[in-house]
Homo-oligomer: A and B are copies of this chain.
Amino acid sequence: MNIPCPLDNIRIVLSHTSHPGNIGAVARAMKTMGLQALYLINPKSFPDPEAEARAANASDILLQAKVRSELSEVLADTVLTAAITARPRDLSHTSFDARQGAMELVQLAQQQPVALLFGPENSGLTTAEVNKCQIIIHIPANPYYSSLNLASAVQIMTYELRMALTANTPLPPAKEELANLSELELLYAHLEQLMIASDFLDPKKPKLLMQRIRRLFARTRLEKEEIQILRGVLSALGKRW
C-alpha cells in the first residue's frame, strides 16, 4: 500500500494564462518540487508546442493537466483554496506570507484536496475569483518591483510546500470534516436567496454585502456539521418566505 503524500492532494490552478510557454515552465517547476496536479481554467492556447518545449522533462504533468471552463468545478471538492496575489485587496481575507500559507495548505492536504490559484500574467485574479478562495497568500518581494514571472511564483510556492512537508516541527493533526467549497456555496446561495426574499438585500444594489459574508465565513474554515447547523437555521427561518 502506498502512503499518500500530501503533495498529491495539492492542485496548482492557473486562470486564463496568456502564454503557453509559461504553462510549460509551471509544469517543470511543479515537478521539481514533487507536485503533479495541474488545472487550467480557459488557457489561451493549450496544448501548445511552446508549453512542451518549456516543460523540459515534465511533459507528463502537461499530459495529465485538466482544462476546465469553470473555476467552481475545480474547487468543488477542495477544503481550502489560496489566492496567490501581489496586489492588496480592499476587503481583507486572512492573509499569509508564502511560508505560513504553505504550512496551512500542507496541513490540510494530509487528508483532503486543497488548491493554489494563480491569475493571468498581466491582470491578476479578478475579485470574483478571489472570493472563491478562503485565504490570500502573498509572496514577499521587492516593494519597488514585485513583478514575479508566473512560473517563478509557482516555483517559490511549490518550494515552500515541499519545505513545509519536511519541516522539523511536526504539523498539528489535520482538522477533519471541514466543509468543501460546494457545501459553502450552497450555504451562500441559501443565505443570499433568503436575504433577497426578505428585502434585506436588493439584488439591483447588492453593494458588497455578499462579499463581506463570504469573507467572514472564509476566515472561520467551516466544518461540515457547522454548515448543516447554519442551513438548518436558514431552512427553519426560510419557511416564512
Which residue of B139, B141, B147 is within 8 Å of A56 (Cβ)? B147
Residue among B33, B57, B141 making CB contact with A33, cutoff 8 Å? B141
Q: Which residue of B lies closest to A60 (CB)?
A: B145
A118 to chain B, nearest CB (A): 15
Closest to A152 in B: B155
Q: Could you say which interface size class chain A belongs to?
A: 20 to 34
A153 CB to closest chain B CB (Å) equals: 9
Within 8 A of B (CB), among A87-137: 98-99
Cβ contacts under 8 Å, A231 to chain B: none
Cα separation A31 to B143 with both chains bound (whole Å): 10
Q: Which of A158-166, A173-181, A193-201, A217-225 lies at the interface?
A: A158-166
Q: Does A156 contact B (CB under 8 A)?
A: yes
Residue of B nearest to A29 (CB): B152
Docked Cα-Cα span, A66 to B107, in Å, equals 44
Contact B156 A159 (CB under 8 A): yes
- Say whether, besides A151-B152, A156-B159, A142 and B34 are in contact (CB < 8 Å): yes
Q: Is A58 an interface residue (CB 8 A)?
A: yes
A144 (CB) vs chain B CBs: closest residue = B34
Q: Are B99 and A146 in contact (CB under 8 A)?
A: no
Are B141 and A32 interface neighbours, CB within 8 A? yes
A104 to B208, CA, bound (A): 47
Given contacts A32-B147, A57-B147, 10 further A-B contacts (CB under 8 A): A25-B149, A32-B146, A32-B152, A34-B142, A56-B147, A58-B145, A99-B163, A149-B151, A156-B159, A159-B159
